[in-house]
Structure 1
Amino acid sequence: MALHLLKLCVGAESIEDLAAHIEWRFSTMRAQGLEPEQFHTTRMLPKRMDELLDGGSLYWVIKGNVQVRQRLKDIRPFIDGEGISRCNLVLHPELIATNWQPRRPFQGWRYLVSADAPADLGSTGAEIADMPMEMRQELASLGLL
């Protein structure tokens, strides 16, 4: 069973904001002549890397709810210019909408076992993904999503 990560998506108001940010980063990389690659830099290196890379995803908490996930491609440790150990969580750029799951704020990232991860929005959830963000937030706050 795959192990996942849970992370706050700071600065994004919606899945659409996150998608726009990813596209902006890709266009910036292309303009610099680099191969576009989606990654998130974090200070802590996961100790359970093998489990994470065996089908794991990074689940993003946006506005207090898990809303979307990205599959993990790789985890690359490195030392930054100030000598601090960090790692890049390399992600597939595809955003996979999930059922909303409320989460309280936390720092860093957390492990998330598959049994506790929200399900992906399937064909029955397509209507939810098409709803305006404000409507989704209100329905989620009422416990209806």
Structure 2
Amino acid sequence: MASCVHLVKLSVGTEDVAGLDAWQSSKRAQTEDGLPRHITRMWPKRGDEILNGGSIYWVIKGVILCRQPILRLDEYIGADEIRRCAIVCKPGLIRVEATPKRAFQGWRYLPVSDAPGDLPDGRQEEEALPPEMSKALAAIGVR
């Protein structure tokens, strides 16, 4: 049985968790069956590990703030006829402990041992702090 690994990805142009949720609700960000997806140029080489319980952890303004379980990896061929990977996720964002993350391009693998923990159920519905404040608090060890 394959082990599990997550992905971490910048949510470019997103101001907060609500903005990412709004984007994923648009038809442009969904598969034909209505699930949220992220299209990327590179196909993950560790696909079996990702599909063994992995999530995509979203970085918003330099802070990992939420995640989504990954359901499948679909082939996507756009108008330019280039093969890409659509990372298809379970709908809904799960808020996690705010964790600073430096900028990078594309996506990166995130070992299970390095993944931020989910916020407790009672905190999932709280209004999120602005990413800059979350980043400052995480830098001093307050999550």
How does the TM-score come out when normalised to structure 2? Answer: 0.84
Percentage identity across aligned positions?
41
Aligned partner of 2:75 in structure 1 is 77
- 1:48 aligned to which of 37, 46, 49: 46
Aligned residues of 2:39 and 2:76 also touching (Cα < 8 A) = no
Change over 3 Å in CA distance of 1:114–1:26 after alignment to 2: same
Change over 3 Å in CA distance of 1:78–1:27 after alignment to 2: closer
Aligned partner of 2:90 in structure 1 is 92
Aligned partner of 1:3 in structure 2 is 5
AA partner of residue 3 (structure 1): V
Give the secondary-structure state (helix, strand or coil) at the position aligned to 1:66. Answer: strand
More helix by share: 1
After superposition, residues 112-131 of structure 1 pair within 5 angstroms as 112-123=110-121, 126=123, 129-131=126-128
Give the secondary-structure state (helix, strand or coil) at the position aligned to 1:74. Answer: strand
In 1: Cα distance, 2:74 partner to 2:117 partner: 27
Deviates more, 1:41-50 or 1:83-92: 83-92
Give the secondary-structure state (helix, strand or coil) at the position aligned to 2:18. Answer: helix
Aligned residues of 1:2 and 1:51 also touching (Cα < 8 A) = yes
AA partner of residue 8 (structure 1): L
In 2: Cα distance, 1:43 partner to 1:28 partner: 15
Aligned partner of 2:17 in structure 1 is 15
In 2: Cα distance, 1:56 partner to 1:96 partner: 13
RMSD: 2.5
Is 1:111 equivalent to 2:109 in the alignment? yes
Where in structure 2 are there 5+ consecutive unaligned residues? none
Where in structure 1 are there 5+ consecutive unaligned residues? none
Deviates more, 1:67-76 or 1:14-23: 14-23
Change over 3 Å in CA distance of 1:21–1:106 after alignment to 2: same
Aligned partner of 2:142 in structure 1 is 144
C-alpha deviation, 1:96, in angstroms? 0.4
Number of residue pairs the alignment of both structures matches: 139
AA partner of residue 87 (structure 1): C
Larger radius of gyration: 1
Give the secondary-structure state (helix, strand or coil) at the position aligned to 1:130. Answer: coil
Aligned partner of 1:38 in structure 2 is 36
